[in-house]
Each structure stands twice: as structure tokens, then as C-alpha cells.
Amino acid sequence: MTALEQKSYRSAEHRVEWLVSAEPVPYAEAILAMDRRVAAIADGAAQGCVWLLEHPAIYTAGTSADEAELLAPARFPVFRSGRGGRFTYHGPRQRVAYVMLDLSRRGRDVRAFVASLEDWLIAALAHLGVKGERHPGQIGIVVAGAKIASVGVRVRRWISLHGVSLNVDPDLEHFSGIVPCGLADTKVTSLAALGATTDMGEVDRALRAAFAKVFAEEAVSANDPLRSP
């Protein structure tokens, strides 16, 4: 049995696959899967994809990471990622959404793509009764000044990798081992801390509904494309 449990939704205009992993996926394994999928999209052999998953507890370093911001290097594994951004935490009860789309069809504008990812998160939070907003000079989404969602992307052959993470009900103390996203004075929060839903299925439905509005795309089924050789 693979780690990916596909659920499909059809759009008349655009076709993007949504994949949902039922079990936590090791971070390094997810990177390899994304690499395969992005190569296939670039070669015209696969559709764009949104992959919803959780990771076992890990700290990841983006291309702008400052080693001084890794406060507890022995607490969890540390992975040097190729995404943009600084240090972040991934772990159980945090919804990670990897977005692999052909940006050649979106004007090859990375900043606009990142802004669209933020719009997506804000819209999804609104579905859940939470008011998310941007913070001037920062990437990601805050609620009442506390960060609830992060954005970190990479682009290869104009195909996007990585994506966003939304704190549903993770152990927020785990963020204390880093300076999250380099924001020493910004607290971290979650849907649970805000008294909102922690049902992952409901969160996923909000993400899908918001994605359809922001990107005008929905999903179709596939036979385990991320796991294919």
C-alpha cells in the first residue's frame, strides 16, 4: 500500500490532481517524489498536482536559513531544503500542501504565484471561520499577529515545488527549537489554539474549495503518479 490515497475532483476547464497521504510521509521521501513529479510535468508526461500530507517531526532549512536561528539542533532531524525561506518546523497535525504547477501557464511570475498561495490560505481559513491576513514585509499568513501558515517554494524549469503549511493542531512547543521563518518577535498559533476545527478532512475540504476559487482549477484522479518510477 502506498502512502498516497487519491481523492479526485473534476473541472471542465483545468485538470490538476489532488493527492492525500493517509500516513505521515518522511520528508526526504517526499522530496524525491516531488522531484519525479516535477520532471514529468516539465516533460509533458503528467498534470499539475497538489499533494496534501503530514510529515514526522522535522526542522527544514530554506535557502535563506541562518544557522543562528536553529536553537535546538538535536531535538529533531534537520533537512537542508531547496525551497525558499528560512527555518520551519513540520510535524504531525500540521497540513502540508505541496503545489506542483506549470508556471509557464501563469506568466512565469513567481511573486504573483506566492501571492496566490497566500490568497489561497486566507480563503481556506475564511471557510473555517478564521480571519487570516498578510503581515507587511513577511511571507505567510497570520491571525491576530500570530503566524498560522507558512509559504516556501522553489521553481525548476518553471514548475513549482514545495508549497504551504497550515498549523491545524501541531505541538506548538516544537517551534521553540527554531526561530520560525526568522521571525523572533512573532508568535506561532494553530486552528486548535484559536478554537477552530481540527478535523483534517474539513481542513482539506476548505483547501480544495479555496483553491478552486483562487486558481480556477480542480482535480482528477490518477494512479499513484508521485510513486511511479
Residue 169 identity: D
Residue 181 known to be catalytic: yes
Q: Render 148-217 in DSSP notation, one character per residue.
A: EEEEEEEEETTEEEEEEEEESS--GGGGGGB-GGG-TT--B--TTTTT----HHHHHHHHHHHHHHHH--
C-alpha torsion 197→202→208→211, nearest 10 = -10
Angle between helix axes 110-127 and 200-215 (nearest 10 degrees) is 130
Cell numbers placing 177 = 527549537
> Which one of 181, 191, 219, 226 is the catalytic residue?
181
What's phi and psi for 44, nearest 5 deg?
A: 75, 15
Alpha-carbon radius of gyration of the chain: 16
Q: Do 153 and 83 meet the contact criterion of CB atoms below 8 Å apart?
A: yes
Please identify every residue annotated as catalytic. Answer: 181
